[in-house]
Structure formats: structure tokens, C-alpha cells
Amino acid sequence: MSRFDHKVAVITGAGSGIGEALAKIIARDGGTVVLVGRTESKLENVANAIREEVGEGRAIVHRADVTKSEDIEALTSVLQERYGSVDVLVNNAGGSSNKTNIFEMSEDDWVKSQDVNLKSVFLVSKSIGQLMKNNDDQKDRAIVNVASLSGHKAGAHIPHYSAAKAAVMNFSRALAYELAPYQIRVNSVSPGFARTDLTSAGLTNDRFVKAIEKNTALSRVGTADEIANVIAFAASSEASYMTGSDLLVDGGWLLT
């Protein structure tokens, strides 16, 4: 029996990078994946790849802006109508832009970063978590929130992102405590430097890549699959006695 047989997994930010890699892992392992994101064409590309590999009906697309409560409420209604509940939720959507120091950062940049990296996790967890909570006959359900190495160690010129990702870790612990009576586990995963669509531009800079390699114990940049494998573990029954934890997947960056 595969890890995600007969399970429904909702993944935000599923159109590329870690979200795409995770969706493929879960589908290959028997699960049905609901791909959520803002760009429908990207989501369809991922869904089509999954359908070609594992068959029709194992990947559906739902376009939504996870910073908007009305979009999340609509998503939850679709999930309830189609599946009754869900078994796995992965809050993967997020990102960093407009790098600058605190004193030059605009309020708008700060708010946008909190919205996409933290508010989205709150909104999606609240709505879909309630759906999971209401259907309490299910066992071994899980929520995994994607945080960041930057939540452990503040990055240069990304105070808005670092603050939001640190908050995601503590929010995950609070949510784990609240959902534990319903046998819903909540953990976070904190990726270090990994090659994804969002990081590809920065990783074309050889000096930047060499600095990462020098300051990472494993002396290399990670891959989306390596991060997704850890998220899949946290979402699976293999992690059935783990809740309220953060899994740091940084190649040993904090060791150096």
C-alpha cells in the first residue's frame, strides 16, 4: 500500500518548483492532488503531467489567490462538495521580492510580503482546517506549512520575508496545539537554498552560488525534489507521531 492511497491532498503554490515536485510525489504515491495557485496555465501543465503519468482523475486544478478570503471560501466549498473533506493540506505559496533594508522598505512592500507568506497560511488553514476538523472520523490527517531557513536566520535585505517565515513556524505550533484533539498533525518545513523557478534568476550569479556552496555544510544548492520529499514525509503516516515541529532542510547552512 502506498503512502497516500485514497487520500486527497491540497497544495497551494502548486504551479512550479517545490509545489509541483510535491504534487507529483504524492500522486505517484497513490494520492489525488488539488493544485491551487493564481496562474491556471501553470497548474494545468502540472496536472496534465500527472494525468499522463498516473491516470485521469488524480489531479484537479483550482485557480485561487490565497491572500483573498473569498477565494479560499470558494475553494473550501468545492472541496467539501467534491470530496467531503481532505486528508493533507500543504501551504506552499509564498515568495520574496523588492529586497531592501528596513529603513528604505515601503509599508506596501511589508504588507504584501506578510499577505503572501503569512496571511495566506492563516486563511487557508482556518478554512480548510475547519473542514478537516468537522470530519473527525478520519485518522492521520496532516497540515504542512512551508516556512524557510530565513525564519531561523534572518536574511540580508529581506526583513519582511524573514519575519513572515518565522511567524509561519510559530503559527504552525499554535495550530498543532489546537488541532491535536482532532488527530490532525501540523508541522512546518523550512527549506534552505534550492533551485526553483523563483530562485533561478539569483542562481545564475556564480558568485552567489559559490557563496552558498562555501557556507553550506553539504557544499551545494538543493533541489525542489529534495525539499518536496521532506514535506511528503511530514504529510504522510510515516510522521504519525510528529506535530508542532519544524523540519529544517538547509544542507547544513546553520552548521557553518
Could you list the active site residues? Answer: 161
Q: How far is CA 2 from the centre of its chain?
A: 22
Return d(Cα 90, Cα 14) in angstroms, integer. 10
Cβ within 8 Å of residue 153, ≥6 positions away: 253, 254
SS3 per residue for the chain: CCCCCCCEEEEECCCCHHHHHHHHHHHHCCCEEEEEECCHHHHHHHHHHHHHHHCCCCEEEEECCCCCHHHHHHHHHHHHHHHCCCCEEEECCCCCCCCCCHHHCCHHHHHHHHHHHHHHHHHHHHHHHHHHHHCCCCCCEEEEEECCHHHCCCCCCCHHHHHHHHHHHHHHHHHHHHHHHHCEEEEEEEECCEECCCCCCHHHCHHHHHHHHHHCCCCCCEEHHHHHHHHHHHHCHHHCCCCCCEEEECCCHHHC
59: which 3 cell numbers? Answer: 489531479
